[in-house]
Structure formats: structure tokens, C-alpha cells
Chains A and B, each alone.
Chain A
Amino acid sequence: MSARARSWLWTALALVAALALWYLLAAIVQSGDDPLASAKLPYPHGVVEQVADNASTLAEAGWTSLKQALIGFAVGSLVGIASSIVMAQASWLESGLMPFILAAQMIPMIALVPIAQNVFRDDDLTRIFIAAFITFFSVSVAVLRGLKSAPPAAYELMASYNSGRGKTLRFLQLPAAVPMLFTGLRIAAPLSLVGSVLVDLSGAQSGLGYLMLAAITFGSEGATVLWGAMLVLLALGFLMSQAVVLAERLLAPWQPGMRGGRAR
């Protein structure tokens, strides 16, 4: 069995185990005489049924959250890369800017969302901003580290070609930073989606988070909708993360972890 197939098998096994655990917990919760038990933790098949019944609603809500998350993810990545390039130019720039980036990261998202809503007065723009804000941090920190990952002798080599700042960046630092860039993107991808949904939850009129909130308000029947929306969110986050992995495989197959022993 190939290593790839084996890793898929393990993922499948873990999924089955999680599903079994869910059934077990749901059975325990519902064995009592709590009338709201099925709302607290419904059985998985009930949730799947609910997802199938409300497929179009969930798809529309999912797409609303995902679309803005993707735009925010792209914007945040670009800003993150740009800021890390600026910081890599001089240590005074890094020491000057890093505290602000850290401080920005310390703002609780729950507090930032209403501020952003007041500023943008638009759900889509707010989602994009929050997703970008979350992406920016992990990407800029990771890429900055990647830009500085080349050994000193590589810089001496470039110096012997009288390579200027721009060419050293293009031929040495940026390619050397690609593995760390993908590490940052992989962390940021699902988080940007969570950021987008957080805006839904904070008073937006659409999206997966709005659906969750609405489901709760509608009482115990809505519980399966809540769980269904969560499943959709999970699947979307997984897809985004896998898309990053796939992109990395295609764009940077030369990394130690991806060497299949084949040429090219």
C-alpha cells in the first residue's frame, strides 16, 4: 500500500471513530428524560437528513460565507506577504512593526467585528475585512521567517554576483520563503472562514452563522439545522485547507517532505 493510500485510510478510520463516538454520546444524552435532549445532541443521521432536506438553503448560506472568506483570505495573504517583505528589509523595520502586528492580533475578534461593522456598514465588506485580518497575521509571521531562512553563504554567493536587494529577494529570499508561506496559508485558510462566519453570527442577515443563529431562535426543531450548518462549515474549512495543500504540491514540489524520488 502506498504511503498516500495509507494516510487516507487513517483519515477514514479517524472519521469512523468520531462518528461512533458521536452516536455513543447522543445515545447517552438522549437516554435521560430531558425533553430537549434531541436538540442538545441529535443523532448524526438526523443531521445528515436535515442537510439533505435543506441543501439549497445551506448551500446558499455556505457560499455567502465562503465567498467573502476567500476574498478576505486572498487580500490578507497579499498584505501579509507585502508586510513581511517590508519587515525583512531592515531589522529596525521589523522591530518597529512587529509589536503593532502582535497588538492587532491581541484584539478579540468579538470586539473587532462590531467596530468593523460600524466602519463598513456592509456585511460583505465586514466579512472580507475580518477574514483578511485573521489571514494577515499568520501569513506575515510565517513568510517573514521564510524570507530569513537562507544560510549566510547563500547571501555571500549573491553578493559575489553583485546582486542588489531586488534580485536577492527575487532569486533567493522569496523562493526560500515558499514553504513557510504555505504553512501560514494552511493555518489561515480555515480560520478565515471562521472569521467570516463570526460576522454572520454578529448580526449579519445572511451566511452560515446567520442560519445557525436563526436555528437556535426557532427552538428545539432547529437544532439539527444548527448541527447541519456546522457540518457544512467543517466541510468547507477542510476543502480550503486541502486546496492549499494541493496548491503547494503543484507549486513547490521540491520540498523535503514532498520528494517522491522522481525527477522534476
Chain B
Amino acid sequence: MSEAAMAHHEHVSASERPRALVVSGVSKTFGRGGSAVTALEDVSFDVARGSFVSVLGPSGCGKSTLMRLIAGLQPASAGAIEVAGRPPEEMRRDREFGIVFQQPILFDWRTVEQNVALPLQVMGRPKEEARARVDHMLDLVGLSEFRRHRPWQLSGGMQQRVSIARALTFAPPFLLMDEPFGALDMMTRERMQTELLAIWADNPGTTVVFITHSISEAVLLSDRIVVMSARPGRVLRVIDVDLPRPRTDETRDTKRFVDAEAEIRQLIFSQEGR
């Protein structure tokens, strides 16, 4: 716990730190002519280094597309994205992003520890270094005793923990998560949220971009929430969450948490009548 508390000390207020991610006027259109679909329209926000930002919106608001643009997996149709002052594509080539998808995407032919070691193996890191790093990550996500299991022998929550361990095993400065807990049941989901905060605390300086459709999840985890509307995806508002850290399960029951949640819910519902 003391380690986590110290790490949290570094998570100082968002506005004082340099911006790690700047999204300005970004649009994304799929297809051409009459069948063209605009997924994102004029999206702008920025994220401080080492902070936790959530992109919150209903399905169809293009938030997964936004994550893929930030990750340098697809180009934006218009506008610019700067990650640590550089284009996303370049950052991806330099292996600056750890990605977690809604599905864990674990390889069935590999054991849990081999899955966590995959990025290090692809990157050609020395075996000794890789082993130590994998040990640390498995310990961090509490799966050390399942290291020789196969992915399909684990529960959904455990599989997603393997996926998180894999994303952080090469210590990327950015962690991009696309509705990572969306396929989990409510109870597992809430436990994973607090676990993610502990994991994040163990990797200080990591900037997290978290895609979600859950308001309470966004409020509990984030320093900043980008609230989006659907079809086409636009930014409704960027909200800073100033709940004190470390945040735990008890945080969910505080008045400030409930108020913040209510404020965002009203913001989203007030847009529905447009």
C-alpha cells in the first residue's frame, strides 16, 4: 500500500503538467460519396502527461475509432493529433502505446506467461530481462500462480488482467484501453476498476486513455472526461474530475462522486432532445 500511496503522490493536478496528447479538430469519415459515414467530427481535447482521461459516450459515437486514431492504427481524415509532440504513426512505430481491447485477444497457443511476454519477444528483448518483467507484471495483476495456465482456463476478468499485464509489460508511456471491462459482469467490473487504479499507481507517469460508456466508471477512474455525443461523434464537454486520490471502492459512496456522476448524466440526457 505504501508503494501505491507514494506513486499517487506523483499524480499532481492535471493543469500543472505538460500535455502528452493534443487532439485538435479531428474528423474521421469512412467511405466516399453517398455512402460515406462520419464517425468523428471536429473533436478537440488535450491530456496532461501521466494523467487518466476517459472518452465517454454512447455506442456509435466513434470513441473506439478515436482510440485507433490516437494509437496510430488509422489516419485521421482531418485535423491533427499530437502524442508527446509527435504524430501517432511515429509513436506507434516507436512502441509507445500499450493497447487493451474489449476482448482480451489472448493467444490460445500460448500460456498466460507467454502471452504477457509476447510484446517483449516481438521486440527482441533479452530473455533474462523479459522474464523478470513478466514476473513483475503477473505479480502486479495477481496471476502469478496461473502463469502456466492457458487463457481459456481463466475467467473473463482474469483474461482481461492478462491483457492489461501484456499491454504494460514493455512499460509504454501510454496505455490505451477500448472498453476493457465492457464484457464483464458488474461485480467483476467494479473490482477491475479499483485494480486498474492500483496497477496505474505502480506505473507512474503512464498516461491512460480509457474508452467507456459507463459514467460511474469514467468518474471513478479519470482526471478528465471527454463526453461525446453520437452520430456523428462530437465533443459535448470536457469535464475535469477533482475527486482526491487514491480512489477506492468507498469513493463510489461519497457525495462528490455521486454529484459528479449526476452532473454528467444530466448533461448527456439534456442533449438527447436536440
Contacts and interface: CB of A to CB of B under 8 A. Distances in A.
Given A157-B105, A161-B118, 18 more contacts: A154-B107, A156-B99, A159-B73, A160-B95, A161-B123, A167-B122, A171-B107, A172-B107, A175-B110, A176-B107, A176-B109, A254-B108, A254-B109, A254-B152, A256-B152, A261-B153, A264-B111, A264-B150
A162 interface: yes
A171 B99 CA distance: 17
B213 interface: no
Interface in A15-62: none
Contacts, number: 66
Chain B contact residues (Cβ within 8 angstroms of A): what range?
20 to 34
A175 B118 CA distance: 13
B208 to A, nearest CB: 15
Say what secondary structure dominates the interface of chain B.
Answer: loop
Nearest to A255: B108
Contact of B109 (A162, A175, A264): A175
A162 to B, nearest CB: 5
Interface of B: 68, 71, 73, 92-95, 97-99, 101, 103, 105, 107-111, 118-119, 121-123, 148-150, 152-153, 170
Given A160-B95, A263-B149, A171 B105 contact: no
B92 A171 contact: no
B95 A162 contact: yes
B50 to A, nearest CB: 20
Contacts of B123: 161-162
Interface in A150-192: 151, 153-154, 156-163, 167, 171-172, 175-176, 178
Given A175-B107, A254-B109, A156 B150 contact: no
Contacts of B71: 156, 160
Contact of B148 (A157, A172, A263): A263
Contacts of A255: 108
Contacts of A151: 103, 105
A102 interface: no
